């Protein structure tokens, strides 16, 4: 079934008057249950950022497929919804043209084609690793990359806020300070890897790591050290009196390069994947790695720390083992 969460009538959403295949819901409740093959779309008209975040959190927890309908084109960065877990975006042009069941079915089939049974169940199915190799030679620096050109990068997702309710615990003012402290800590920690803080969303950061073995190894080592020392970092660097855990995810793929702060128009399957992996599958206190990441990125002495963790959106993944961190 297709559900649209909106205060508008069907006609205002580009739908005809008689559509038995779609149901318009005035709101979505926290405990609302949907089936695995249901599609839930959110009309974002008139929603504040705080309201939008709250509803998206519910959608990520309660649905397998959700999308956005933006009749007025209110969102300047539609790609941000994909980074938050969305599977589809319908803008004003499509709404004006009129929405058909066929359009929704095509979006659902596309989303399903990127998944496997194990990606949803967390099964321990182990796929065949892809024998990708990183370029040889030393990375020439971020200034050497021309804006708009496509290239391969290691994508590192980081979160210390997404898996816990730290915002509520510390309050709004302290939360803003915490985000600034976290940004400084991460940039300093991943300096050896020459990682570039590329995107920031609510409580999450995405770094680009140069596609070189040395840089990748430095990023992996740093992530594992931060997980191991998370309690100490939380107290000494972030000023928190409550336990925190870092969530890391690593992927290798391609995207068009834009300077930080100018990434609103970036639409990339690899970028979508790393955000989905980090927000939907990665676990707090672990580094989750897609098998698209070349083997040479893992330091030789640390390879035994990783074990297969099933398949996510068609790509085998691995988790780092948990540390006993008291």
Whether the CB-CB separation of 222 and 190 falls below 8 Å is answered with yes
Residues 147, 278 within the same domain: yes
Strand order in the sheet with 204-209: 196-201, 204-209, 150-159, 247-256, 286-290, 315-320, 306-312
Residue 244's domain spans which residues? 142-320
- Chain segment 13-56, per-residue pLDDT in tens: 777 666 778 888 888 776 677 887 889 999 999 888 888 888 88
- Chain segment 65-105, per-residue pLDDT in tens: 899 999 888 887 787 788 788 888 888 888 888 888 888 98
Identify the CATH number of the domain in which residue 14 sits.
3.40.50
Residues 148, 282 within the same domain: yes
Query: CB-side exposure of 269: number of CA atoms within 13 Å?
Result: 8
Tell me which residue of 152, 109, 273, 139 sits closest to 206, measured CA to CA: 273
Identify the CATH number of the domain in which residue 246 sits.
3.30.70.1230
Residues 293, 159 within the same domain: yes
Residues 95, 149 within the same domain: no
Give DSSP secondary structure letters for 69-85: E-TT---S-THHHHHTT
In a domain, 123, yes or no: no
- Chain centre to alpha carbon of residue 150: 20
Tell me which residue of 49, 3, 54, 52 sits closest to 30, measured CA to CA: 54
- Chain segment 212-268, per-residue pLDDT in tens: 999 999 999 999 999 988 888 888 888 777 778 899 999 999 999 988 888 766 778
Residues 45, 170 within the same domain: no
Residues 278, 316 within the same domain: yes
The per-residue pLDDT for 161 is 58
CB burial readout 23-50, b (16+ within 10 A) else e: ebbeebeeebebeeebbbbbbbeeeeee
Residues 26, 105 within the same domain: yes
Total domains, the chain: 2
In a domain, 60, yes or no: yes
**CA-to-CA distance for 258 and 149, rounded, in angstroms?**
8
Strand partners, 308: 318
Q: Are strands 286-290 and 315-320 parallel, antiparallel or unpaired?
A: antiparallel
pTM of the model: 0.69
- Chain segment 160-211, per-residue pLDDT in tens: 854 456 777 777 777 778 888 888 999 999 999 999 999 887 778 999 999 9
């Amino acid at each position: 079934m297709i559900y649209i969460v909106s205060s508008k009538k069907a006609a205002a959403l580009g739908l005809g008057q008689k559509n038995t295949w779609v149901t318009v819901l005035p709101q979505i409740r926290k405990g609302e249950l949907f089936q695995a093959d249901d599609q839930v779309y959110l009309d974002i008209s008139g929603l504040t950022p705080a309201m939008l975040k709250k509803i998206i959190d519910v959608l990520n927890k309660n649905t397998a497929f959700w999308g956005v309908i933006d009749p007025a084109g209110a969102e300047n960065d539609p790609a941000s919804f994909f980074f938050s877990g969305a599977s589809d975006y319908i803008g004003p042009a499509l709404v004006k043209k009129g929405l058909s069941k066929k359009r929704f079915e095509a979006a659902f089939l596309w989303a399903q084609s990127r998944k496997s049974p194990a990606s949803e169940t967390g099964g321990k199915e182990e796929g065949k690793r892809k024998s990708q190799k990183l370029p040889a030679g030393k990375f020439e620096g971020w200034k050497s990359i021309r804006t708009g050109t496509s290239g391969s990068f290691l994508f590192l997702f980081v979160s210390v806020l997404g898996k816990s309710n730290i915002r509520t615990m510390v309050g709004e003012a302290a939360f803003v300070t915490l985000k600034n402290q976290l940004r400084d800590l991460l940039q300093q920690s991943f300096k050896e890897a020459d990682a570039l803080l590329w995107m920031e969303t609510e409580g999450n950061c995405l770094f680009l790591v140069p596609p070189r073995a040395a840089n990748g190894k430095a990023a992996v080592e740093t992530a594992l050290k931060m997980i191991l020392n998370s309690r100490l970092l939380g107290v000494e660097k972030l000023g928190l009196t409550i336990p925190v855990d870092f969530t890391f995810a690593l992927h290798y793929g391609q995207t068009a390069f834009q300077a930080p702060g100018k990434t609103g128009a970036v639409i990339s399957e690899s970028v979508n994947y790393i955000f989905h992996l980090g927000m939907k599958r990665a676990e707090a206190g672990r580094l989750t790695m897609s098998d698209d990441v070349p083997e040479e990125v893992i330091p030789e002495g640390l390879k035994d720390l990783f074990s297969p963790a099933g398949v996510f959106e068609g790509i085998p993944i691995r988790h780092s083992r948990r540390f006993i961190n008291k």
